[in-house]
Amino acid sequence: MKSPITYGQLQGLLRELQFVDKPSQPHCLAFEHPATGLLIVWMSDRLNEPARKEDIISTRIHLDQFGLLSATDFEKYFGVIPHRTRRTTPRQSK
């Protein structure tokens, strides 16, 4: 099983995308992308800690929406295989 994505790994990706550290509240990490003004804040300052699922998803969505990194490329970067979507209609019985 692949180990969870840490805040340090997310930080490394943001720095590769030209984000800069931003002063923030205690126990938070904040990064700004100067060219777009995108601000990403996480409620943790422990880089070796596994990132919360909500922070990973939010980061992926914002990078995609601002045109900095597609969701597919984000998943490739971290070696994540997208899950199949669940069936939304009931199966018909034969």
Q: Which two tokens stand for residue 11?
A: 């930080």
* Model pLDDT, residue 2: 54
Residue 40 pLDDT > 60:
yes
- pLDDT over 90, % of the chain: 72
* Model pLDDT, residue 1: 35
Distance separating alpha carbons of residues 51 and 43, to the nearest angstrom: 10
What average pLDDT is seen over the chain? 87
Q: Among 5, 35, 6, 42, which Cα is nearest to 20's?
A: 35
Residue 35 covered by a domain: yes
Between 33 and 2, name the one with better pLDDT: 33
* Model pLDDT, residue 84: 45
Distance separating alpha carbons of residues 29 and 13, to the nearest angstrom: 14
Question: Domain tally for the chain?
Answer: 1
Segments forming the whole domain that contains residue 26: 7-78
- pTM, to two decimals: 0.80
Residue 63 covered by a domain: yes
pLDDT in tens, 46-89: 999 999 999 999 999 999 999 999 999 999 999 875 554 444 55
First to last CA, the chain: 38
Residue 93 covered by a domain: no
DSSP letters spanning 35-84: TTTEEEEES---TTSBPPHHHHHHHHHHHHHTTSS-HHHHHHHHTPPPPP
Residue 94 pLDDT > 70:
no
Residue 2 covered by a domain: no
Distance separating alpha carbons of residues 19 and 87, to the nearest angstrom: 38
